Chains A and B, each alone.
Chain A
Amino acid sequence: GNSVTQMEGPVTLSEEAFLTINCTYTATGYPSLFWYVQYPGEGLQLLLKATKADDKGSNKGFEATYRKETTSFHLEKGSVQVSDSAVYFCALSERSSASKIIFGSGTRLSIRP
């Protein structure tokens, strides 16, 4: 079945450091790929998405590129801020459904001032 694997956390970085959170997926067909973020005490928010191969999703300085050849969707940001501290989830959905999402295990990110 479909699945998502993302790097284990927690990840701790200093402010302005470069961030990469690795994500790979297993899926039949051509899923849509997402990064969701969960801030403390809040629900999930969509950070960015890509719906086909070579698409690049971007938002708030974060980027991720849909790589079909390596089945990957790594999250990157050039300069992190303290406010980026949160849990990040890589996820996929089949093209026929927006609601049934398969999530990775989440990566907790902490940014030191």
Chain B
Amino acid sequence: KAGVTQTPRYLIKTRGQQVTLSCSPISGHRSVSWYQQTPGQGLQFLFEYFSETQRNKGNFPGRFSGRQFSNSRSEMNVSTLELGDSALYLCASSLEGLTHNEKLFFGSGTQLSVL
């Protein structure tokens, strides 16, 4: 069974640009969540999608958005990039994402550098 796949692995952008990151969950998993990892702030929850709907949201500005497709693949978009958006963006998937008994599987992440 393939794991969670994130593309691209590395990205370099300049301030003001926008970026789209992609995540393919494990087959059969319908919940996809996104996290931002930085040395200063650590790991922070961005949002979660289930059945093409955003179900949970963290405390990030509106420049951070996402969507989920009917095959459960998800994308996240960051508009008007700032230097502080440089981070490792991790995607995680689970079957339904509803209860604490479910296991979360993480991808290897997309390393975004904003210059």
Report which A residues bind B (CB closer than 8 A).
31-32, 41-46, 51, 89, 93-106
Flag if B97 contacts A45 (CB, 8 Å). Answer: no
Interface range on chain B: under 10, 10 to 19, 20 to 34, or 35 or more?
20 to 34
10 cross-chain pairs, A with B, having the tightest CB-CB distances, nearest first = A32-B100, A98-B102, A43-B106, A103-B43, A99-B97, A99-B33, A44-B106, A99-B48, A43-B108, A105-B42
Closest beta carbon of chain B to A10's beta carbon, Å: 13
Closest beta carbon of chain B to A52's beta carbon, Å: 10
Flag if B42 contacts A99 (CB, 8 Å). Answer: no
Give how many A-B residue pairs fall within 8 Å (CB-CB): 70
Given known A43-B4, A43-B90, A100-B48, contact A93–B31 (CB-CB < 8 A): no
Report which B residues bind A (CB closer than 8 A).
4, 31, 33, 35, 42-45, 48, 55-56, 58, 90, 92, 94, 96-104, 106-109
Flag if B100 contacts A103 (CB, 8 Å). Answer: no
In the bound complex, CA of A104 to CA of B37 (Å)? 11
Give the nearest-CB partner of A1 in chain B: B59
In the bound complex, CA of A89 to CA of B101 (Å)? 19
Given known A43-B109, A46-B103, contact A98–B4 (CB-CB < 8 A): no
Contact of A100 among B4, B56, B109 (CB under 8 A): B56
In the bound complex, CA of A32 to CA of B101 (Å)? 9
Given known A32-B100, A93-B100, A96-B99, contact A102–B45 (CB-CB < 8 A): yes
